[in-house]
Amino acid sequence: MYSLLFKLIFQRMDPEKAHHLAFRWIRLAARIPVLRTFAAAVLAPRYKELRTEALGRRMHGPFGLAAGFDKNAVAIDGMAMLGFDHVEIGTVTAEPQPGNPKKRLFRLVPDRALINRMGFNNDGSAAVAARLAARNPVFRTTLGVNIGKTKVVPEDAAIADYVTSTERLAGHADYLVVNVSSPNTPGLRSLQAVDHLRPLLAAVREAADRTVQGRRVPLLVKIAPDLADEDVDAVADLAVELGLDGIIATNTTIARDSLGLASDPALVQETGGLSGAPVKARSLEVLRRLYARVGDRVTLVGVGGIENAEDAWQRILAGATLVQGYSAFIYEGPFYARAIHKGLAARLRNSPYATLADAVGAEHKKVTSE
């Protein structure tokens, strides 16, 4: 049904306009009590065997919505209604910004991928913080807040910019993510270098601890799939050194030529970050490398090309405690999370693992025990 709707309506629309239309429908459904209850019953069935503990939270399952879909924290309940076990909002910057000029979002349908150069378009951390403070949750879900650098802020002022957002948002977050890996903000990815990343993460950690009394807000960093292997290792070592709570692997890629893309070459060469199925292999490779380096000392979140339950299961076996999706949601529609949960539960039941936690990193543990 959704595939037909996508072909007849959404695929013919400008991708950003289609996103806003679908977004409005989701928000509307979540505001109507009878409709949201029915939708959640159908789209968000719970499986006891998938219950997950991560980042100090108990979640219905491991599968969440990646940052980028709900930039301004306006549809958290709507996304929980659709079955996402955690929702990561953002990326939010200290100052509001419109993002890059349109057109800035492109579908690569034959490749089940997206290219975006949105440029962190968002309402700014003050407005998002006010929205979160006024929120009256309908569904219980874990809320992640992803923060990035305001575009006009120079690199030498980036730490202060992130600290401002941290001070405003940390109190509303179940976990906080430092995004240094989007390709659409000039100079941002240079912050992934350990010499820049260490003081940034330390400052955000200090600001979160100072701002939020009585609990520790877990802190994660999101990295790019384009990092060289030695840089992935360096980030992993830094995470252990700083006592970081987690690493999200990975963001979008700027790679094109090595991915065997089948879409129109002119479309493929649009600038921006590529997400979806073509990122799958490298994202999984980075995840495996991270787990081999940090083991269970740091929570790993697998994202990038998660199209189905098998993709999610492979990330868990490779070391991810949590898994996120976004681009495939555009192609799969409202039953996306339901299918992931159903498939994960079936795979766990047919596996040698008693719990989902036992499956995390099992691929690596099997190799090292042989």
The dihedrals phi and psi of 122, each to the nearest 5 degrees, come to -165, 170
3-state secondary structure of 192: helix
Cite the annotated binding site for substrate by residue number. 71, 116-120, 179, 184, 251-252
How many Å separate Cα 155 from the centre of its chain? 24
Give how far Cα 161 sits from Cα of 4, 95, 125, 165, Å.
Answer: 44, 9, 10, 7
As a whole number of angstroms, the distance between CA 42 and CA 311 comes to 23
Report the alpha-carbon angle 33-334-39, nearest 5.
20
3-state secondary structure of 275: strand
As a whole number of angstroms, the distance between CA 247 and CA 303 comes to 11
Q: Identify the active-site residue in 125, 165, 181, 182.
A: 182
Cite the annotated binding site by residue number. 67-71, 91, 116-120, 146, 179, 184, 222, 250-252, 276, 305, 326-327
**Is 182 one of the catalytic residues?**
yes
* Type and span of the H or E element at 288: helix 280-294
Tokens 């929120």, located at residue:
135
Kindly state the greatest CA–CA separation across the chain: 55
Q: Which of 256, 317, 301, 268 is nearest to 85 (CA)?
A: 301
3-state secondary structure of 168: helix
Tokens of 193: 């270098």
Surface-to-core class of residue 262, CB atoms within 10 Å of its CB (0-12 exposed, 13-18 middle, 19+ buried): middle
Cite the annotated binding site for FMN by residue number. 67-71, 91, 146, 179, 222, 250, 276, 305, 326-327
Which residues are part of the catalytic machinery?
182
